[in-house]
Amino acid sequence: MNIKFVVVGKLKEKYFKQGIAEYAKRLSRFCKFSIVEVPDEKAPESLSQAQMDQVMQAEGDRILDKIKDREYVFALAILGKERSSEEFAEELKDLTTYGHSDITFVIGGSLGLAPEVLKRANTQISFGRFTLPHQLMRLVLTEQVYRAFMINEGSPYHK
């Protein structure tokens, strides 16, 4: 199984990198795990709606370039479906059972995801209505993917 994150922007904070590296190491016994960073679009602080759309479009094109047709795509979106850790674990297990061995998660930039990316996604997932920095979201998502594998294995990690 291949798990890939396609994310906008570079991760600069050492403590996030360390946390993600730890979970990536743990995930290596379950899957091939990778993170693909695409550049964020430089933009001034205050943007018109047209400029925001332009930024999301540029980032969206970069994201879509990194996704292959066969990949099952989860887009992280505030308006996506919330799941419990158990439901998420079950969903991942079902995907692999039914032949989806390439699973991709997309984390957009500060403005969110372009409509084309949301349309390409097989499903949208939400971690609640909180706004979280996308750097932190990478760590949270990595841990939740690891947790899903541990739940499916029947490990006490989840308790």
Task: Please state the residue numbers annotated as binding site for S-adenosyl-L-methionine.
Answer: 76, 108
Residues 6+ apart with CB under 8 A from 63: 6, 8, 38, 106, 108, 113, 114, 117
Measured between alpha carbons, how far is 116 from 55 in angstroms, rounded to an integer?
13
Tokens of 79: 């308006």
List the binding residues: 76, 108
> Which of 104, 86, 69 is CA-nearest to residue 158?
86
Closest CA to 71 of 120, 107, 28: 120
Q: Which residues of 114-129 are buried (b: 16+ CB within 10 A; e: fewer)?
A: beebbebbeebbebee
Helix axes of 14-27 and 134-153: crossing angle, nearest 10 degrees: 20
